[in-house]
Amino acid sequence: MTRLSRRASVALLAASLAVAAPVAVNAKQPSGCTSATGLVFMPNPVVSSGSYAGLEDNKDADSDALNDQRVQVSLTGLDGSGYLRGQYALVVGETGDSAYSADCTFDYTRHDDRFEQVMAYYWVTKSQAYTQSLGFTQSSGLWRVINGDQQRVRINQYGVDNSFATDHPKDEMRFGKGGVDDAEDGEVILHETGHQIHMSQSATFFSSLEAGSISEGFGDYWAATVSEWATGGEADPECIAEWDSVSYTRGPVHCLRRLDEPKMYPDDLEGEVHADGEIWSHALWNLRTALGAAHADTSILRAQFDWTGTTMPDLAGRIVDAVDELYGSGEAALATAAFQDRGILP
Ligand SMILES: [Ca+2]
Ligand SMILES: [Ca+2]
Ligand SMILES: [Ca+2]
Ligand SMILES: [Ca+2]
Ligand SMILES: [Zn+2]
């Protein structure tokens, strides 16, 4: 199945026609590095600089303003090959060279396609680290590791401005280069990782249009909550993908979508998953505001295991039940109110 960020019909056609290019044979010596450092955006240059001033895509050109927004991070779990391959992520680059380092350092500028490869490796492993920090570390049961396989990520020259996650025929995320290169924005990577989380949690998750909307809304929410955890807090955390959306929104504030749109269930359902997902993401953001990130995110992830892809009220009820079980009736009442606020629960 394919889950799309934007412009679904165009991308679906493109996806169905896509043929995987052969991966270059690895001829380089293993580096032995199981951890490394790299330069990334945190999560994107708009958030880290606090404004849009001086940040121009300019067809992927380097600039001092964008170079200055890169920060050094640790890349963990690497397999020692020297490539961006590790326990929870395997990055394949189809544009330019595959990033390889003999000295445990992955420092590139954003014009270099290897920069996006580092971004993908970092943010996929960061998402995994976050779920594990919440307690999802076991091999089975309701605390099992989520999306714990070696997530494949492909950076390609996708013509349309789109990225997507799929588990068929291959469990893979792909990031295109339309407008601002999609993987230059950590929140785009986290959004797609949200779909991977759903695919890994339930084989029947995507059983309805409404479940597809939930997945879009959760992806946006996941981008925000992991970004908040990783960065220590954004000035406007409800705005998703501030940097990628510079190329397709008018501004002055650029957001792919927001977590605080005044949409209600069911009156504002349009039958389009990204639009309808804004109802769900707003409710999850309410939940996080009421319970704090750890309780909200733990409960959301718990409730998603083995969900059968029905409706928003059904999954909301499961989340409230998880809150009740884990944190008691007082927090469960707050959780109910978070969904009532959007009309999802009566
Ligand atoms: Ca780039
Ligand atoms: Ca883009
Ligand atoms: Ca996966
Ligand atoms: Ca954001
Ligand atoms: Zn999506």
Return all residues near 215 (Cβ < 8 A) that are at least 6 apart.
3, 194, 195, 198, 205, 206, 273, 277
The pLDDT of 236-259, averaged and rounded, is 95
Q: pLDDT-derived band of residue 161, with 50, 70 and 90 as boundaries?
A: low
- Closest among 79, 75, 52, 84 to 65, alpha carbons compared: 52
- The ligand placed nearest to the CA atom of residue 187 is 4
Give residue 10's pLDDT band: very low, low, confident or very high (50, 70, 90).
very low
What's the 49 CA to ligand 1 centre distance in angstroms?
18
pLDDT in the model for residue 312: 98
Mean pLDDT of 212-217: 98
Q: Is the pLDDT of residue 16 over 70?
A: no
Contact 297, 226 (CB under 8 A): no
- For residue 1, pLDDT over 80 is answered with no
The least confident of 96-105, 208-217, 309-318 is 96-105
CB 337 within 8 Å of CB 290:
yes
- CA dihedral for 238, 227, 194, 331, sign (positive or negative): negative
Q: Is the backbone peptide bond immediately before 169 cis, with ω within 30 degrees of 0?
A: yes
Question: Which range among 91-100, 179-188, 258-267 shows the weakest confidence by mean pLDDT?
Answer: 91-100
Distance 91 CA to ligand 3 centre (A): 13
Q: Which of 10-19, 145-154, 334-343 has the lowest mean pLDDT?
A: 10-19
For the segment 54-70, the average pLDDT, to the nearest whole number, is 96
Q: Find the 251 Cα to ligand 4 centroid distance in Å.
A: 14
Report pLDDT for 77.
Answer: 97
Domain-by-domain residue ranges, the chain? 2-340
Phi-psi region of 182 (alpha: psi -120 to 50; beta: other; left: phi over 0): alpha
pLDDT-based confidence at residue 5 (cuts at 50, 70, 90)? very low
Averaged pLDDT for residues 137-166 = 85
Q: Is the pLDDT of residue 19 over 80?
A: no
Average pLDDT, the chain: 91
Span from the CA of 152 to the centroid of ligand 3 (angstroms): 7
Tell me how far the alpha carbon of residue 246 lies from the centroid of ligand 2, in angstroms.
9
Question: Ligand 5 centre from 45 Cα, in Å?
Answer: 21
Ligand nearest to the CA of 148: 3
Q: Please write the tens of the pLDDT for every residue from 25-39.
A: 557 899 999 999 999
In this prediction, residue 97 has a pLDDT band, given cuts at 50, 70 and 90, of: confident
Ligand 5 centroid from CA 288, angstroms: 21
Q: State yes or no: pLDDT of 319 exceeds 80.
A: yes
The candidate with the shortest Cα–Cα distance to 91, out of 36, 132, 130, is 36
160 pLDDT higher than 60: no
| Closest ligand (CA of 162) | 2
Which ligand sits closest to the CA of 223? Answer: 4
pLDDT of residue 148: 94
The string over 22-50, giving b where at least 16 C-beta atoms fall within 10 Å of a residue's C-beta and e elsewhere, is eeeeeeeeebebeebbbbbbbbbbbbbbe
Quote the ligand 5 centre to 189 CA distance (angstroms). Answer: 10
Cα(89) to ligand 3 centroid in Å equals 9
Distance CA 172, CA 151 (A): 7
> Does 176 or 345 have the greater pLDDT score?
345
The CA 289 to ligand 3 mean position distance, Å, reads 28
Residue 247, classed as helix, strand or coil, is: helix
First to last CA, the chain: 32
Q: Kindly state the average pLDDT of the residues 309-323.
A: 98
Is 313 a residue whose pLDDT tops 90? yes
Ligand 2 center–CA 96 separation, angstroms: 18
The reported pLDDT for the residue numbered 227 is: 98
Q: What percent of the chain has pLDDT over 90?
A: 82
Q: Which residue has the tokens 């650029």?
A: 254
Distance 244 CA to ligand 2 centre (A): 5
Which are the contacts of 217, defined by CB distance < 8 A and separation ≥ 6? Answer: 276, 277, 278, 279, 280, 281, 282, 283, 284
Per-residue pLDDT of 66-75, as tens digits, reads: 999 999 999 9
